[in-house]
Structure 1
């Protein structure tokens, strides 16, 4: 298990350092309690170039999204990995009040999103296996 840097609140001057599963749950619970679709940006502390992992939470709907970038590839969570990679359907999640577009079919169950966040922490920044993935569409 590694320490993570969590970025999610526009009022933050510094990352929230997440050292334990309970601390990760506290961040996820906080964001899931906010209105709308909100992103948490997670990085391996001390090695932000290792991977970029976005965890999107839409608590009221019980849904969320995942985005993983590492080793020169970009991946989105999906429940239907065989969909058209260039489909124009998009949904908005917000990172510190900035619009971030995601493929419409990238929303998955919130419990899967949470498991993936814990897996990211537990594996030291590897792409989680808790979700199905597909390569980012051309428009992203």
Structure 2
């Protein structure tokens, strides 16, 4: 398990560092509690350039998205769900919007499991998720 830098607060000059599953849950719960689809960015605290996991949470609809970039996916990959939205979903990160593929949304519990797996594996791409090129 590694400590993670979490970026989600547009007014924060520094990341919120979490080093326990409970700490990660607290950050995910905070972002999920905001209205609309929002994103928290997760980086390895001791090596922030190694891998990134963006975790999009839309608690109102019970779904989210993932974006991963790391040694085995340097160009980045996004989650791939089974449903295709009429319009590509847009998730917000510190005031900026990011459009995802129309089939990128997956169940919220899978998004949370992926965030925890990223933490416990030291930044490896989460398994159990279907991925597609960005």
**TM surpasses 0.5:** yes
Q: TM-score range by the shorter chain?
A: over 0.9
Deviation at 1:94, TM superposition (A): 0.3
Supply the distance in 2 between the matched residues of 1:69 and 1:105 (Cα, whole angstroms).
19
Supply the distance in 1 between the matched residues of 2:112 and 2:123 (Cα, whole angstroms).
15
* Superposed counterparts of 1:1-140, under 5 Å: 1-71=1-71, 72-80=74-82, 89-136=87-134
Supply the distance in 2 between the matched residues of 1:89 and 1:36 (Cα, whole angstroms).
16
Supply the distance in 2 between the matched residues of 1:39 and 1:50 (Cα, whole angstroms).
19
Gaps of 5+ in 2: none
Contact map agreement 1:77 1:106 (CA 8 A) in 2:
yes
| Two-structure CA RMSD over aligned residues (Å) | 1.7
TM-score normalised over the length of structure 1: 0.88
TM-score normalised over the length of structure 2: 0.92
What count of residue pairs does the alignment treat as equivalent? 131
Supply the distance in 1 between the matched residues of 2:128 and 2:49 (Cα, whole angstroms).
22
Deviation at 1:130, TM superposition (A): 3.0
Gaps of 5+ in 1: none
Describe the SS at the equivalent of 1:113. Answer: helix
